[in-house]
A and B are shown apart, each in its own frame.
Chain A
Amino acid sequence: MEDLIRYAPDLALGFLENIKLSIVGAITSLILGTILVAMRVSPTPVLRVAGTFYVNVIRNTPLTLVLAFSALGLSDQLGLVFSAEPRINSFWIVAMGLSAYTAAFVCEALRSGINTVPLGQAEAARAIGLTFMQSLRMIILPQAFRAVVAPLGSVMIAMIKNTTVAVAGGFAAESAANMKESFDQVGASIPIFLGIVVAFMAVTLPVGWFTGRLARRLAVAR
């Protein structure tokens, strides 16, 4: 128990980084995922192919590799630098990699949501003269989003947990890396492990509960 108390400030600071990563990741991956799904259903074959290719590649690559490639390839080699301060730079590199990875899953969730929208909706939208972008924006996506609130919730929960892989992208200030460091110093400590687990559950369980509730409230009655 004293181990937990001794390392609590470090771990709490680390966990704060997990939360910050999660927030940035959630926002960017939702935006990016929406763009991707628009590409995948667009009338332009090139965009469709590009979107499909991106999703299939990213979705089937381990996050560890995506993050490592972002850090070692995009940042170190291509000079994609967000900040001169290494720690801030690696934070954004990881946030970027995490968003790029999660966006593929957001896109897939949304696409299955689009599949739940009845054909008649799209046909009616066309019949009243809406363009592709208009029908997507005003008719299809709003209904698709409502249908996939719960799956998107699971994607977000997975992403929150995935922030623990950040060290693969050279960002070692978060709680998993802190835990590893503390274990290396004092050996395995059940209180430390449970402390972090409880912290994660304190975030993921409400997200799951909230999105579940929201899903029921927003469900389109058909």
Chain B
Amino acid sequence: MSTSVLFDVPGPRARTRNALLTVASVILVGAALYGIYSGFDAKGQWRAEIWQPFLEWETWEFYIFPGLLGTLRAAAVASVLALVFGAVFGLARLSDHRWIRVPAGVVVEVFRAIPLLLLIFFIFYLAPAVAGPGDYTFMAVVVGLMLYNGSVLAEVVRAGVLSVAKGQSEAAYAIGMRKNQVMRLVLLPQAVTAMMPAIVSQLVVLLKDTALGYIIAYVDLLNTGFKILPARFFGSLIPAAIVIGVIYVALNMALSFLATWLERRSRRSRKTSAAPIEPPGQPAIGAGAGTGPQGGGVAAGRGME
């Protein structure tokens, strides 16, 4: 439902009221922003010299980029592992065999209930006892992220497969497919489209959660940018928090945009494949429209033909 349905096209009185409300809210929002601005100003947080470090290449090269790399490395490895973990356990929970379904369910429920911070911390402490001495900071962050986010993704996978209309699997069984064929060829391809937004929003969570590595001094963006950098440049704590925050927000928003784009793309392709009456050349036109600047594509293309 688009929000504009919630209110009428405003008449004269409503327009005045809206105008008043706009003024009031501008003042309110402006006052809040100014309050923060002037508060920091009074404490000298906008002084040029504490912002100066962020204009220097050295700061980025030695503090922010290494940390960013640590964040991305942990997030990338953990994402792949979590997706695998999620797929395996999500499908295991759908198994017809009780002895697979129940343990998988327990694993998923337990890891979803454990606070991630504690999990990372515990793995870090326990790993040497299991695998001998070594540096386990990266491993602990990645495994912790995998177990938690993988469990959430398992639920997403399960819900995605269950969301595919029942007729699909019935039809597949009717033409003589085996269980694994039904899952692999019919249910999963359709489920993936439905799962896409949920998967990506979970990956955003995963990326943010790499910051929890601070508890075991994992070298990530938060660590280098927010802990070490302010120690190196005295007084730059608030500027560092703002810069680091902007980087995280930009990173996650980029990921979200990617998700929206992927979703739109896959939804469009599903539309074409789900319409078998379409002439064979149709998908090509669809794909061509997809690469164009205007994403709207398929229907318009058809209209032009």
Complex contacts, B110 vs chain A, CB 8 Å: 197, 201
Any B CB within 8 A of the CB of A65 = yes
Partner of A135, one of B6, B26, B237, B244: B6
Beta-carbon contact of A44 and B21 below 8 Å: yes
* In the complex, chain A residues whose CB is within 8 Å of the CB of B109: 205
Q: Tell me which residues across on chain B come within 8 A of A179, comparing CB atoms.
A: 118, 121
Residue B226 CB within 8 A of the other chain: yes
Q: A44-B18, A63-B208, A69-B241 are in contact. Are A204 and B113 (CB under 8 A)?
A: yes
Task: Specify which chain A residues have a CB less than 8 angstroms from the CB of B210 in the assembled complex.
Answer: 62
Known: A73-B238, A79-B39. A41 touches B6 (CB 8 A): yes
Give chain B nearest CB distance to A57 CB in angstroms. 6
With A118-B1, A193-B122: A64-B241 Cβ-Cβ less than 8 Å: no
- Is chain A's interface secondary structure helix, strand, loop, or mixed overall? helix
B116 & A132 in contact (Cβ 8 Å cutoff): no
Mark contacts of A24-61 with chain B using CB atoms, 8 A cut-off: 1 yes-contact digit, 0 otherwise: 00000000000000001101111110100000110111
Asked if A72 is at the interface of the complex by the 8 Å CB criterion, the answer is: yes
Contacts of B115 in A (CB 8 A): 161-164, 176, 200
At the interface, yes or no: B173 with Cβ under 8 Å from chain A?
no
Q: Does A148 contact B (CB under 8 A)?
A: no
CA distance A176 to B214 in the complex (A): 14
Q: Which residues of A contact B222 (CB under 8 A)?
A: 62, 64-65
Q: How far is the CA of A64 from the CA of B212 in the complex (A)?
A: 7
Residue from the set B117, B208, B252 with the largest chain A CB neighbour count within 10 Å: B117
Interchain CA distance A221-B252 in the complex, whole Å = 36
A93 to B195, CA, bound (A): 37
A157→B3 CA distance, assembly (Å): 29
A197 to B8 CA separation, bound complex (whole angstroms): 51
Stretch in A1-9, A82-90, A119-127, A211-219 with 4+ CB within 8 Å of B? A119-127
- In the assembled complex, how far is the CB of residue B35 from the closest CB belonging to chain A, in whole angstroms? 8
Q: Is B16 an interface residue (CB 8 A)?
A: no
Separation in Å of the B96 CB from the closest CB of chain A?
Answer: 24
Residue B226 contacts which of A46, A50, A65, A164 (CB distance < 8 angstroms)? A65
**A81 on interface, CB distance cutoff 8 Å:** no
CA distance A168 to B215 in the complex (A): 9
Q: How far apart are the CA atoms of A122 and B39 in the complex, in Å?
A: 43
A60 touches B226 (CB 8 A): no
Cβ of B204 within 8 Å of any chain A Cβ, yes or no, is: yes
The residue from B113, B204, B256 contacting A197, defined by CB atoms under 8 A apart:
B113
Residue in chain A with minimal CB distance to B209: A62
Residues of B within 8 A of A (CB): 1, 3, 5-8, 10, 14, 18, 21-22, 25-26, 29, 36, 39-40, 43, 45, 109-110, 113-118, 121-122, 125-126, 129, 204, 208-212, 214-215, 222, 226, 237-238, 241, 244-245, 248-249, 251-253, 256
A and B contact pairs by CB, cutoff 8 A, 30 listed: A40-B3, A43-B6, A46-B22, A47-B29, A50-B25, A56-B253, A60-B249, A60-B251, A61-B249, A63-B208, A64-B212, A65-B245, A77-B39, A77-B43, A77-B45, A77-B238, A78-B39, A119-B1, A122-B5, A132-B7, A135-B6, A161-B113, A161-B116, A162-B115, A164-B115, A176-B115, A188-B125, A190-B126, A197-B113, A200-B115
Interface of A with B (CB < 8 Å)?
A: 40-41, 43-48, 50, 56-57, 59-65, 68-69, 72-73, 77-79, 114-115, 117-119, 122-123, 126, 132, 135-136, 140, 157, 161-165, 168, 176, 179-180, 183, 187-188, 190, 193, 196-197, 200-201, 204-205
New A-B pairs, 10, CB < 8 Å, besides A62-B209, A62-B210, A69-B245: A40-B3, A65-B222, A122-B5, A126-B5, A126-B6, A126-B8, A157-B113, A200-B115, A201-B113, A205-B113
